[in-house]
Amino acid sequence: MKHGGRNVYMVSGGVTKFAKATPEMDFRLRVKKAFDYAMNDVNLTLNDIDGSVASYFADHFQRQLMAGIMVQDYLGLTPKPSKRVEGGGATGGLAFQTGFEEIASGRMDTCAVYGFETMSHVNTWKGNEFIALASDTNFDYPVGGFYTGYYAMMAVRHMHEFGTTVEQLAKVSVKNHKNALHNPYAQSPMNITVSDVRNSPMVSYPLTRLDVCTMSDGAAVALLASEEKAFEITDRPVLIKSIGTGTDTMRLSDRPMGKVPLLPNEKESDYSNLKYPGVHSFRAGRTAAKEAYEGAGITDPIEELDLVELHDAYTSSEIQTYEDLGLCKYGDGGKFIDEGKSEIKGKIPVNPSGGLLASGHPVGASGIMQSVFMFWQLQRTVKKHFKDDFLQVNNPKRGLIHSHAGTGTYVTATIMEAVK
Amino acid sequence: MTINPNAKMEETQNGTEVYSIDPLVVKSHYEIDYIHSYAQDSEFFRALGKKKIMGSKCKKCGYTYATPRGHCMMCGAETEWYQLPNTGKVHTFTTCYFGSEEFLKETPFNLIMVEFENVDSLFMARLIGADLEDIYVGMPVVAKFRRNQKFSPTDVYFVPVAQPEKKKKR
């Protein structure tokens, strides 16, 4: 592998049910519940954990700086090493990769990556303001001040460039909310139709209320280990095969026009007329995938991956991300959902958990949540944890988790593999 | 004498706003003023008062920015200020019917990304004088400036260019 470090495995995970508000627990207790679930599932004690990584996005939400150390303290992990990782919507994905690096480097043999967010301390519109402060406050925040607006402009350009329709966007919402009916941890399981999505209140054209994820309280924990430790802890660990991280300009307006960084399954002639990335695609998503595919030796993602949990804070970003990950060519994302390829029984299930749209998006927890759901899929233990095996993908070998910030400023792609 | 076993905390009439007793949920207020410097971006904001939109151009590689930056992202060299035209085209758009709290009272508002001829990057702005159904990619727009400058990027906004021909279908 490119990183040259030791093999890293995920050995356990835990998630609290995501909800609009959970005033009966603060962030420390919520993480503790997810942590204990993960620890008890493999009979670990605090002595077995070498250190940790804390994942949360906005100090504004908590109005508590150094919330990471408060969790470390509450869990009983002091005085062991820990650090906080922050990167907007990709915070969870970045923290998971940081945990990977702690083990790969040989610094730790076991690492707990815990993520949380408590967004219910303020109302939705104040929450949107906090989130919008993650856009350039000189030029972007004072003009738009609303992430849904920024993504909506990207969606409009995608529609213009490729002919993507609002109905195709809506199909993502229908699929993900329906999948979540079988996920007991999900915030908004719903049986809805394309017309329900289109008839829900317009938030920012073309995105309606049901095209956009909700504010959430929640926590998720992933336990990672070195090869030797992993097989001591469980006979079914999941290998974290490779990681990839991409970045892009903070301002959407600065996205340059150039050539598409090609994935192994693509040719330059595929995109001879495409001005890239412009504001229709996520270059950081593409470069994250490229690095992760190279690390895992993947040359044809749709054939070599069995499922994907990707960052669908907006229906449009799921369509854009199919293309960034090379599941289909740029421009074919709308067709991809029309053909049902990302359905639970489709060619490559995407967001079988319900994704962020239906599971909820407590920012710092979301990327860790994806790792937990992917871990259970690859262990083939969805039935045990969900008490329902409807979402269990048939005998999956390899999956990709994808976490995403800003309008695609930080993006992570991580490949996980079943070893048994 | 400083020792007083009968000392009492002052009792006040202003109380705590309680939302729930179990669990106990209370309201706490938080307010702050920031002393924000536009630093190397200052010229852009000063120029809006002179009805000029200033972009920047790389001194070394010539890459041009509609939203200015002090150093070039392509080669790392310092940029210089240069004036953008007042007319451009809509590269993409949306209408926000909701917003973050600060801008909620301004909804619905239109956001556009403006492309200027022969400029390599875009500029985000508000568009007024057009409803969602009027706006399309490629629509010609022209800059207008607020008379009472607020030293905000919204000191410049765009309106549709008056056109005789029928608007293009989106």
DSSP SS3 for A166: helix
DSSP SS3 for B139: coil
User: What is the C-alpha to C-alpha distance for residues A398 and A91, in angstroms, rounded to an integer?
Assistant: 23
Q: Are strands A51-55 and A110-118 parallel, antiparallel or unpaired?
A: parallel
Contact B135, B127 (CB under 8 A): yes
For residue A157, give the DSSP letter. H
Closest residue by Cα to residue A244 from A265, A222, A261: A261
User: What is the C-alpha to C-alpha distance for residues A132 and A126, in angstroms, rounded to an integer?
Assistant: 10
Residue B90 backbone dihedrals phi, psi, to 5 degrees: -75, 120
- Give the mean pLDDT of chain A: 97
Query: Nearest residue of A to residue B99 by CA position?
Result: A146
Which residues, including other chains, have CB under 8 Å from residue B13's CB and lie 6 or more apart?
A: none
Give me the residues paired with residue B143 across strands.
B158
| Type of residue at B35 | I
- Which residues of A are less than 8 Å from B122 in CB distance? 252-255, 279
DSSP SS3 for B19: strand
Contact B85, B116 (CB under 8 A): yes
**Contact flag A204-B41 (C-beta cutoff 8 Å):** no
**Contact flag B65-A254 (C-beta cutoff 8 Å):** yes
Residue B167's pLDDT band (boundaries 50, 70, 90)?
A: low
**Contact flag B102-A129 (C-beta cutoff 8 Å):** yes
pLDDT at B169 over 80: no
Which residues in B have their CB inside 8 Å of a CB on A? 20, 23, 25, 28, 30, 36, 38, 41, 65-67, 69, 73-74, 91-104, 111-113, 120-126, 132, 137, 152-154
> What is the per-residue pLDDT for A236?
97
pLDDT (tens digit per residue) in A9-34: 999 999 999 999 999 999 999 999 99
What does R_g of chain B's alpha carbons equal in angstroms?
Answer: 25
**Contact flag A252-B111 (C-beta cutoff 8 Å):** no
Is the CB of A258 inside 8 Å of chain B's CB atoms?
Answer: no
Handedness of CA A30, A33, A34, A36 (dihedral sign): positive
Contact A286, A324 (CB under 8 A): yes
How many interface pairs between A and B have CB atoms less than 8 angstroms apart?
Answer: 128
- Which residues of A are less than 8 Å from B112 in CB distance? 153
Which residue, chain included where needed, has tokens 């924000």? B36
Residue A130 backbone dihedrals phi, psi, to 5 degrees: -60, -45
CA contacts within 13 A on the Cβ side of A401: 31
Residue B139's pLDDT band (boundaries 50, 70, 90)?
A: very high
DSSP SS3 for A148: helix
Contact B141, B129 (CB under 8 A): no
> Can you tell me the mean pLDDT for B11-22?
92
Contact A53, A35 (CB under 8 A): no
pLDDT (tens digit per residue) in A307-337: 999 999 999 999 999 999 999 999 999 999 9
Closest residue by Cα to residue A95 from A31, A1, A37, A33: A31
| Type of residue at B18 | V
> What is the per-residue pLDDT for A1?
46
- Which residues of A are less than 8 Å from B74 in CB distance? 256
**Contact flag A279-B113 (C-beta cutoff 8 Å):** yes
pLDDT (tens digit per residue) in A46-79: 999 999 999 999 999 989 999 999 999 999 999 9
Most B-contacting residue of A254, A275, A314 (CB-CB within 10 A), to test interface: A254
Closest residue by Cα to residue A276 from A263, A286, A265: A286
Q: Are strands A207-208 and A217-226 parallel, antiparallel or unpaired?
A: unpaired
pLDDT at B144 over 90: yes
pLDDT (tens digit per residue) in A152-200: 999 999 999 999 999 999 999 999 999 999 999 999 999 999 999 999 9
User: What is the C-alpha to C-alpha distance for residues A221 and A54, in angstroms, rounded to an integer?
Assistant: 10
User: What is the C-alpha to C-alpha distance for residues A112 and A106, in angstroms, rounded to an integer?
Assistant: 15
**Contact flag A138-B38 (C-beta cutoff 8 Å):** yes
| Type of residue at A379 | Q
Query: Nearest residue of A to residue B131 by CA position?
Result: A205
**Strands annotated E in A173-300:** 202-204, 207-208, 217-226, 238-247, 257-258, 276-277
**Contact flag A146-B99 (C-beta cutoff 8 Å):** yes
Which residue, chain included where needed, has tokens 């693509």? A266
Residue A414's pLDDT band (boundaries 50, 70, 90)?
A: very high
**Contact flag A126-B73 (C-beta cutoff 8 Å):** no
pLDDT at B168 over 70: no
Contact B138, B28 (CB under 8 A): no
Is the CB of A139 inside 8 Å of chain B's CB atoms?
Answer: yes
Contact A116, A59 (CB under 8 A): no
Contact A313, A361 (CB under 8 A): yes
> What is the per-residue pLDDT for A420?
84
- Closest partner residue to A153 among B94, B126, B153, by Cβ? B94
The distance of B136 to chain A (nearest Cα, Å) reads 9
pLDDT (tens digit per residue) in A262-305: 999 999 999 998 999 999 999 999 999 999 999 999 999 999 99
- Which residues of A are less than 8 Å from B23 in CB distance? 23-24
> What is the per-residue pLDDT for B170?
52
Most A-contacting residue of B24, B46, B65, B98 (CB-CB within 10 A), to test interface: B98
* pLDDT cut 70: percent of chain A above it: 100
- Closest partner residue to A256 among B120, B125, B126, by Cβ? B120
Contact A365, A328 (CB under 8 A): no
For residue A206, give the DSSP letter. T
pLDDT (tens digit per residue) in B66-117: 999 999 999 999 999 999 999 999 999 999 999 999 999 999 999 999 999 9
Closest residue by Cα to residue A222 from A358, A48, A374: A374
Is the CB of A152 inside 8 Å of chain B's CB atoms?
Answer: yes
- Which residues of A are less than 8 Å from B151 in CB distance? none
User: What is the C-alpha to C-alpha distance for residues A116 and A219, in angstroms, rounded to an integer?
Assistant: 4
The distance of A269 to chain B (nearest Cα, Å) reads 24
**Contact flag B69-A131 (C-beta cutoff 8 Å):** no
Q: Are strands B54-58 and B79-83 parallel, antiparallel or unpaired?
A: antiparallel
User: What is the C-alpha to C-alpha distance for residues A148 and A152, in angstroms, rounded to an integer?
Assistant: 6
Is the CB of A140 inside 8 Å of chain B's CB atoms?
Answer: yes
Q: Greatest CA separation found in chain B? A: 89
Closest residue by Cα to residue A101 from A116, A111, A92, A91: A111
As given in the structure block, the two tokens for residue A376 are 């259970």
Contact A150, A407 (CB under 8 A): yes
User: What is the C-alpha to C-alpha distance for residues B43 and B41, in angstroms, rounded to an integer?
Assistant: 6
**Contact flag A201-B91 (C-beta cutoff 8 Å):** no
- Closest partner residue to B95 among A63, A205, A249, by Cβ? A205
- Give the mean pLDDT of chain B: 95
